[in-house]
Amino acid sequence: MSTLTDKKINRAKKVWFTEERLYVLLEDGREIGTPIEWFPKLRHASKEHLNNWRLIGGGIGIHWEGLDEDLSVNGLLK
């Protein structure tokens, strides 16, 4: 039987970008990189908008106010 406490909660500590990728550093030391192409709002955003992010839910998600975009860390890992 599975409960909510059985699920691993992955939390972000840091977010940064290259021309082609979104990178996230997780609290456990893992670093993940995802193509920006997968996210249309990020793909077409200016560097200023991309860098205007904040962690939400204690690091379980990333929010871009100016882009009206939210990404979950667990979603990026899937």
Count other Cβ atoms within 10 Å, centred on residue 10.
19
The pLDDT tens digits for 17-65 are 999 999 999 999 999 999 999 999 999 999 999 999 999 999 999 999 9
What number of H helices and E strands is found in the chain?
3, 6
| pTM across the whole model | 0.86
Q: Which residue has the tokens 């699920």?
A: 7
- Compute the 3-state secondary structure of the chain and give helix, strand, coil in percent, each to the nearest 5: 30, 35, 30
